[in-house]
Structure formats: structure tokens, C-alpha cells
Chain A
Amino acid sequence: MSSESPIQAIRLRHPWRNVFAVVLIAGAALFILDAAGRPAYDWPAVAKYVFDRRITQAAVNTLQLTVYSMIIAIVLGVILAIMRLSPNPVVKSVAWFYLWVFRGTPVYVQLVFWGLLSIIYQSIDIGIPFMEPFYSFQTNAALNTFTLAIIGLALNEAAYMAEIVRAGLLSVDRGQEEAATALGMGWIQTMRRVIVPQAMRIIIPPTGNEVISMLKTTSLVTAVPYSFDLYTRSRDISAETFNPIPMLIVASLWYLLFTSILMVGQHFLEKRFARGVGDRRPDKKGSAPTGTGAVPLVTGTQPTVVAPTQTENPPSSPGREGTR
């Protein structure tokens, strides 16, 4: 018959792979069965506390700590990154010094420091030096432990975000800025329309990791001391019940839930900023563009693994997409 009939070959077997898989599955099953019946885990207690009013409130607090401190950290990180790329040596060194201090000391220690802020500075004056301040407040009254925890987490995180943002900005080809400048675009326009959208592809994956890591770092705010976050709260409850293990499970379940949601969000953000460099179809609506009826449909997207700059020899036919 036709020489193009599908190949029907005997599949190559991988017996050891299969054995390994069976061992893994068996091990996991045994662990789960054992855990289900083990009294120390105290599953009834887990069920009882997982939606306890105090725990859900603590979960909300942890989420707030994460979101607020990340927002501040990202804004500050962008400013620090731009400062580090500034031609002005003073501006540059200030940013460098900030990074040196906040990356060079443990976040736990920093949080303790923030907790002692009201002892170091009893009142804070805003105004011009050597003149009557416009505004003055008692540190104690103005900044509660929740606010101090956010400040502490945010300022620490900003140092890491600055490096991530800087790497992202530097990953964009120099020619992009030149092309935009040559078109008469100003610095802000160039950043906003050309550089930042491209840098996002590099910035988002590590930022996603930072958010997830921040979610867990919030368990250190007890250093301030703020005690209404998920971990500290569940530990406090177990101090009353003398039954710590189920409370650890309860906290872990909530952390896992939030982490999973964040991972889904990160996935969609990455897809959004892969525009034009991933191997998606060139049009938005999914219909083949005019003139190229024979372009093969592309499967799968790999938004984060493509090279940041264009290749020397771009594909010479529009039908070759999907290979980068």
C-alpha cells in the first residue's frame, strides 16, 4: 500500500521505571493509610479547628500582611532598581547601601528592631530641620504592631525586589530603548510602553516566588511582636489545648491553599506577558490571519523559557513559528 502508512513498532519497555513508580505509589499509600489512623495527628481536632473563627481571621491577617508588604516592596523595589541604574553616583550608592543593610541582616532581627522603634524614637516629627515641625506624632500611638510588621517585611523584601527588577530591566535589549528614543518617545513613555512590558517576562517568575516566600515569612512577625497571624495564632491555640500537632496541620493547610492560589495567578500573569515572544498565534481571536491558510496550529505555551532578545537570524518564513 502507501509507503506513508503509520509506523507500527514494538514500544521500547522501561521495566525499572515502572518498578520505581510502583514503589513510590506503594510508599505514599502506606504513609497515608498510617497517617489516617495515627492518633497523634488527631484528625478530629484538625477538622474542628480548620474553620475556627480565630484561625480564619488569622488567615485573613496573614494574607493582608503578605499583600500589603509585597505591594510596598514592589514599588520600593522599582524605585531602588532605577536608582541603582542611575548615572548619578550618589543616588547609586544610596541604593547600594540600602541593599547592603537590608539583605545583609536577618529579617527576624529587622522585625525585632521595628518592634523597638517606639523606644528608639518616641516621637516622629515631620518638617524642615531646625524649625517647628508641621506634624508630630507619638510613635507608639501611630504605629501598631500590624503596621510595624508590614513596614519590616516590606523594607526587607524591597531589597530583594530591587535586584529582581534590575535584572529584568537589564535583560531588555539596548536597541529597544534606542528605537523608542529615536521615535521621539520620552524616558517615562519608553519605560512604560517598551522596557517594562518586556522586563515583566523576566520579573514575574521570581516575583511569584517572592510572594509565596513572603506568605511564609509572615510567620516571623511574632518578633515584632504581632501575634494574630496564622502561625502564631495556631501556636497560641495549641498552648491552650496542649495539642500542637493538629494545629500545625491546620496552619499548613491554609498556607498551602494560599500558595496554590498564588501559583495559579502567577501562571496567568506569565502567559499575559509572553505576548509576542511565546509561540502563540499572532492574532488574538484565534482565527488564522489572512494570507496564510496553511500555517500549522501551534500547541502548548512555554512562556518563561524563551530567550529575552531576538535571535540573529529570525525565522525566514511566517509558517515557522512554534519552534522558539
Chain B
Amino acid sequence: MVIERASVTANELIAEGIFQMNVSAPKIAGENPSPGQFINISVIDSWFHPLRRPMSIAGREGESLKIIYKIFGAGTRLLSEFPVGSFIDLLGPLGNTFELTEGATPVLVGGGVGLAPILWFDETLRSNGIDHTTIIGARHSGEHFLEHCPKEGFILTTDDGTVGIKGTVLPTIESICLEMENPKLFACGPEPMLKAVKQFAEKETVLCELSVESYMGCATGICQGCAIEHKSSSISEHSYHERFSLVCLDGPIYNAKDIRFP
């Protein structure tokens, strides 16, 4: 975990309301982050925004890290205004990583900008020759910037059917998982999607890891601000009761059956 002033090498609109930023961050990249981990970004030096914004790492190439974000509030708007060549203050790498289970075939699911860590995981699996399927959902084609390639195990869905399979990611998850011997789901996206994935995984007893989001204060376990309710006692090391876990240290990746959404 280090703080680094990284230089912005790209920051552009890649789909409707969705931006991609690339930064050169040799120190953070030097700590060998893995898919699932995140960085905490100071969107402005001024104290008008005293807290950083956590963002999943969407890719890494050497010293270069990628994030994908949506303009959601004042903080992400400021993020979109960083020109190429400027510097941005990052803390990372933070959090835990997706874990493969031996004998289980990964099924990756990304919804909205929740596709960020999923894309990186997909890329990593691909380059390691690990057989898997990836499903990326959006509301309509304008929000997609990738190609629908079902033959290569890369499937897009849209709510309105303008590209890929029509519908939410859920029916596609169901049909893919139910055909597989031993699937393991890895999902990141908006809370309603995560809830639905969790419900499906529990009903069909499918292994499932979810990447969850939370407001964060320090992202280092100090402020205790990013608590999430959870059931297992195996990940309560950083909070002081079985009931809560800290997303910054114990997460953001959780076994779906361990966590409870409000």
C-alpha cells in the first residue's frame, strides 16, 4: 500500500457516460495488484472533497493501471476533468482478490461500471489459458464498448436487446451455469444485480464471489466506515464483532453466502 502521484496518460469517454482513465503508477503497479483489488483516488487536492473515491482496477500493463468509471456525482465529474499529462493522487493497491476454486469453471459477470474488475479478471484468465465465460450487462447498446463474441465466451446483454442477448444478465447466468458441471460465479455490479446473483447462487448452490461497493473513509481499516453485514466469522478480523466486516480490508470480494445486503 503506497500513496503515489500518478500521471494521467488517457482519460476519455468510451461509452455513454462511461470513462476510461489510464495512469502511469510504477509504485502501485510495483506492488503487483491482482484482479479484484482497488485504488483510492483523491479527485481534487482541495479539501472541499476530503475523502478519496475507491475504484476497482480495470487492467494493468506494466506500470500502467486502468480504471473505468461512470459520472455519478461531483467526485467522478472532477475525475473526468483530469487532462492527459496531469497528476492524480492515488492510494493502493487495496483490498483482496478474486480466488479461483480448483475444478470449478469461472463464470464472470459484470453489470454497468461493475465490469471494471471483471474485465481485468477476464483478461488475466484469458492470458493464462483458463477456460471461462464472461457476461457483461448494460441497459442498451450505447453503454457497451466491447464486442458481443459468444463463440469466445464473451457475452453481452442489454435490457432492450439493442446488442447481444435481450434481458438482464440473470437469465444468461442461469442458462450458462445450469449447463456446466461445476461453475463458480464472480460478479460485480449494481446492488440489485448482486442481490439477484446471490439469490440464484444460493438456490442452485453455485459457488459465488461478489465484489461489493461501499462509501469509504480511509480505506485502511482505521475509520471503520465501510462496514458491511456478514454471516461468517472467518473474515471478522478487522472489525470487532461477527456481524460486520470492513470492505476495505476484508473485501471488496466476499463469498456471496457470507454477506447480507440491507
A and B are partners in one complex rather than unrelated chains = no
What residues make up the interface of B, taking CB atoms closer than 8 Å to A?
A: none
